[in-house]
Structure 1
Amino acid sequence: MKTLPIPPQQARLAGLFYLIIILCGVGSEVALRGPLIDFGSAERTMQAIGAEAMRFRFSILADVVMALADAALAVLLFLMLRPVSAGLALGALVFRLLQSGLIAAGLLNLQAALVVGDAGLALSFISLHAYGYDLGLIFFGVNCLLTAVLIINSGFVPRILGLGIGLSGLVYLTGSILRFAAPDLHGLIAPAYVVPLIAETAFCLWLLVLPGIGRQVTVG
């Protein structure tokens, strides 16, 4: 048994970055970019992007901010959870950074869709971005499972949050694998993404509020 002091400023900063990730991720996909894209019609998509080019550009910038915040959060969570298990925390750090890098690199496909003059090519680039995003979420799914183990064994983060993050990892892995292995079934998993939204928002709020974070906690 050992006693572990947890810096409240560090954890609250992690919560702030987590909040940025949630707002930028949901905002870019649902509020900004999503309404412009119609995978059933390349022409309508091209016309919508042409009419709302600045909106589409802002969606890309929001995703850039999300990727930067995700990399920062990966480091902060590593520092916070390293005393529980240095090996697992390092693994979680690596997988989350891989996710951030893949998602950031995939934004080039959205930029390509913005500048090409062919509607079919533009929609193909947007589709490639969707595949690249899901590829990143495979690594993030592994990160969630490792983070869940760390949280459950930490003794200072509520175990229910660890269970939620673990379930989120399973949802991400299932959805992303279906995207590549059985794309026709990918839509069936869509309602399950409410689980990560709830679980990650709860973890974010806990990091921001930090109940009892200023005291000494015992970790086994």
Structure 2
Amino acid sequence: MDSPNKTARLAGLLYLLMGFAGMFGLMYVPSQLIVSGDAAATTANILQAEGLYRAGIVANLLCQTLFIFLVLALYRLLRPVHESYARLMLVLVIVAVPIAFLNLVNQLAVLVLLSEVEFLAAFDPAQLQALAMVFLRLYHYGIVVVEVFWGLWLFPFGLLVYHSGFLPRLLGILLMIACFGYLANSVTELLFPTFQKFVSPITSVTGTVGEFSIILWLLIKGVNEKTQSVAAQAA
């Protein structure tokens, strides 16, 4: 059986890789290709950099796959702290991942619309461009929906870290704050979209600080194995 430190560092590595894949697929690629409100420019960018667009889809697939293995590693590490919280953390991720996978169909639909296959000859280029933007918008709102679960899983994760005794309590607090940041971002986008430009920068900071703090701690410091062993025996 792997030691708690090995499990912690594996979780940190998976979390880091997931973070890089997510930033590439969710942030970098859209920032390079999507022109807000301009269907012609957006579709032209995708056609000119189709490889980048496809790489973004693959990065999103990788991100969600890594998410599964990450939560399994964290479950193994933190289950001795509180079985119910650990199960809740696991379930929330297992619910989130299929939603995120299904949402990628919207990105793939854009490639179909721009592929110039024969059955699309009934549509003129402007209509295809408009439909492509519709699917990109649906993809965006799919992210808004799954973001609820990206936030929720951090709350039991934060509680487990806070009560663990072998990880700093501050990290648990930061994770719980990040949870409410994700939720605030999603709710604002759905209910008060005009305020999104004010809320998003704040919630981005809470998420980045909370998640990258635990990533760095798991990778660099690991866990206090003696304390973790006591927690396991107590459970």
Give TM-score scaled by structure 2 length: 0.86
- Counterpart in the other structure of 1:174: 184
CA spacing shift, 1:83–1:212, aligned 2, 3 Å: closer
Corresponding position: 1:204 with 2:215: yes
Aligned residues: CA RMSD: 1.7
1:88 Cα deviation after fit: 1.0
1:161 Cα deviation after fit: 0.7
Distance 2:215 2:11 in 1: 8
Q: Which of 119, 125, 129 is the aligned partner of 2:139?
A: 129
Matched AA of 2:192: A
- Counterpart in the other structure of 1:213: 224
CA spacing shift, 1:212–1:85, aligned 2, 3 Å: closer
Distance 2:80 2:225 in 1: 17
- Structure 1 or 2, whichever has the larger Rg, is 2
The equivalences for 1:39-58 within 5 A come to: 39-58=36-55
**Gapped regions of structure 1 (runs ≥ 5):** none
Q: Deviations over 1:131-172 (max 9, x none)?
A: 111211101211111111111111111111111111100010
Q: Deviations over 1:165-214 (max 9, x none)?
A: 11100010011112222222222211121221122111111111234534
Contact 2:18 2:67 in 1 (8 A): yes
**Gapped regions of structure 2 (runs ≥ 5):** 115-127
Q: Deviations over 1:23-62 (max 9, x none)?
A: 1111223322322001211111011101111100000001
Contact 1:6 1:80 in 2 (8 A): no
- Counterpart in the other structure of 1:119: 129
Instruction: Work out the percentage of aligned pairs sharing the same amino acid.
Output: 28
CA spacing shift, 1:126–1:191, aligned 2, 3 Å: same
Distance 1:168 1:212 in 2: 22
Question: Does 111-120 or 170-179 show the bigger shift?
Answer: 111-120
SS of match in other structure, 1:83 = coil
Contact 2:8 2:222 in 1 (8 A): no
